[in-house]
Amino acid sequence: MVGALALSLAACGSDPGAADPAGEGSESGTGLSGELNGGGASSQESAMEAWRAGFQSANPDVTVNYDPVGSGGGRESFISGAYPFAGSDAALEDDELADAEAQCGEGGVIQYPAYISPVAVAFNLEGVDTLNMPAETIAGIFAGEITAWDDEAIAADNPDAELPSTDITVVHRSEDSGTTENFQEYLHTVVPDVWTWEAEGIWPIKGQESAQGTSGVVSAAQAGEGTITYADASQIDDLGTVAVGVGDDFVEYSPEAAAAVVEDSPRVEGTSESVFAYDLQRDIAGTYPIVLVSYHLACGTYEDAATADLVKGLYTYILSDEGQAKAAESAGSAPLPTSLTEQFLPAVEAITAG
């Protein structure tokens, strides 16, 4: 065993010129081995599960662990250097980025959106499968200002729907959650006068129903008549969904429409070449504006050659067509458009030991 390990390490060392470009991880014999421990956002846990499985089956000697400690914990441990890679539902803040740059050294920080998933606004209303709602209506409902399903505000955009006078029961996530933060960010950006709360992981309004986790809110919504909630679109089961108003149109959620928001939004200026963050535009026609964007973090250089190779291998696999397809299949996330992965890959491939 020791001999084999030494041999594979030697193979790595004698071949510094990146013999394995562009996500050909599926061809066995890349020579990667060892253990890689990271963690962070729990939203991308099921996608990460698929990536780990795919990456490990392509590289049988590799073990990747992802601890879903939450975005905050992931960022903290990445900045302190405890995690060589991490996932986070929010891009690094300026001061966090500075700390992370200091920790990573001259190679700098690599950050890119790896997991994009539409967040559906889902409801349980007998005989109604879909409703049109602009952002003002959605915000009004979740803020508790619109309290019945046959309210004028809802009926105006849905002339054909038969709306009962049932009370609206809002169900939100009870724990600190990236889905809550992204959903609020959408509401606060688009209709700040109705949704006056700043985006936060914890729901700001007291006295409404809540449940733990995506499966929790979905089953709570299914259990009561007249409920409405927001949840990862891949897990909403048979609940009715809201077509969200974008400009003059109403857009149903779809992975493609969700990925298009990130693709068409401008990149945040002033950050380094390898740090990708986007100023999401919520009014681009034909795109679905409520998205959960979860980022991956890595350093440009690692002290340890084995770690550098593993992170590079893992991230290259994640950005490959195969990796994106795997995540879409198992987590229902939106596959990243090639126009984006083409931008991210050079940064990932430049990861070195040093």
Of positions 184, 227, 235, 333, contacts another protein by CB under 8 A: 227
Shortest reach from residue 226's CB to another protein, in Å: 6
Cα 329–Cα 78–Cα 214 angle in degrees, nearest 5: 40
CA nearest 287: which of 254, 318, 314? 254
The reply to whether 193 sits near another protein by the rule CB under 8 A is no
Give the pair of three-digit tokens for residue 240.
Answer: 């009715």
> Residue 80 — left, alpha, or beta (φ > 0 → left; ψ -120 to 50 → alpha)?
alpha
User: Please, which residue, 184 or 210, has the CB nearer to another protein?
Assistant: 210
Shortest reach from residue 68's CB to another protein, in Å: 8
H or E element that contains 65: strand 62-67
Q: What is the dihedral of CA 178, 192, 95, 261, to 10 degrees?
A: 60
Shortest reach from residue 102's CB to another protein, in Å: 20
Shortest reach from residue 207's CB to another protein, in Å: 5
User: Please, which residue, 39 or 335, has the CB nearer to another protein?
Assistant: 39
Shortest reach from residue 73's CB to another protein, in Å: 7
Give the pair of three-digit tokens for residue 131.
Answer: 């409703």
Residues in contact with another protein, shown as a per-residue x/- string from 8 to 47 under the rule CB under 8 A: ----------------------------------x-----
SS3 71: helix
SS3 content of the chain, % helix, strand, coil (to 5): 40, 20, 40
User: Please, which residue, 176 or 256, has the CB nearer to another protein?
Assistant: 176
The reply to whether 169 sits near another protein by the rule CB under 8 A is yes
Shortest reach from residue 189's CB to another protein, in Å: 22
CA nearest 55: which of 34, 82, 80? 34
Q: Which of residues 51-90 bind another protein (CB under 8 A)?
A: 69-73, 76
Q: What residues line the site for another protein (CB under 8 A)?
A: 42, 69-73, 76, 167, 169, 171, 174-176, 200-202, 206-212, 216, 219-221, 223-227
